[in-house]
Amino acid sequence: MTAPLYAKVKEHILEHIRSGAWTPGTRVPSENELVEHFSISRMTANRALRELTADGFLSRVPGVGTFVKERPARSSLLELRNIAEEIAQRGHVYAAHIKKRQTVEATPALAEQFEMKHPARLFYLVMVHTENGVPVQLEERHVNPFAVPQFNDQDFAKITPTAYLIAHQPVDELEHTVEAIMPTAEQRALLDIGEDEPCLALHRRSWSRGHVVTVATLVYPASRYALYSRYKTSPSGTLSQ
- Of 92 and 191, the one with more pLDDT: 191
Identity of the amino acid at 1: M
Spell out the CATH class of 73-228. Answer: alpha beta
pLDDT exceeds 60 at position 236? yes
Share of the chain above pLDDT 90, in %: 56
Res 230: pLDDT: 64
Three-class SS of 26-55: CECCCHHHHHHHHCCCHHHHHHHHHHHHHC
C-alpha 221/C-alpha 70 separation (Å) is: 14
Least confident segment among 18-32, 55-69, 185-199: 55-69
Alpha-carbon dihedral 116, 216, 140, 93, rounded to 10 degrees:
150
**Average pLDDT across the chain, whole number:** 87
Tell me the average pLDDT across 50-63. 83
C-alpha 187/C-alpha 171 separation (Å) is: 28
DSSP 18: H
CATH number of this structure's domain 5-68: 1.10.10.10
pLDDT exceeds 70 at position 59? yes
- CB of 182 closer than 8 Å to CB of 198: yes
Confidence grade of residue 73 (pLDDT, cut at 50, 70, 90) = low
Tell me the average pLDDT across 44-65. 86
- CB of 178 closer than 8 Å to CB of 227: yes
Kindly report the number of other CB atoms within 10 A of residue 165's CB atom.
Answer: 24
C-alpha 24/C-alpha 16 separation (Å) is: 11
Task: Give the long-range contacts of residues 111-117, CB within 8 A, separation 24 or more.
Answer: 113/205, 113/212, 113/215, 114/142, 114/144, 114/212, 114/215, 115/211, 115/212
Residue ranges of the alpha helices (H) in 107-226?
108-113, 161-168, 185-191
Domain extent listing, the chain: 5-68, 73-228
Res 79: pLDDT: 55
Kindly report the number of other CB atoms within 10 A of residue 207's CB atom.
Answer: 17
Helix (H) or strand (E) holding 13: helix 5-19
Among 59, 36, 57, 47, smallest CA distance to 8 is for 47
Res 231: pLDDT: 59
Share of the chain above pLDDT 70, in %: 90
Would the CA dihedral through 12, 18, 21, 24 be positive or negative? positive
SS3 category, 167: helix
Res 12: pLDDT: 92
Res 82: pLDDT: 80
Among 140, 134, 127, smallest CA distance to 93 is for 134
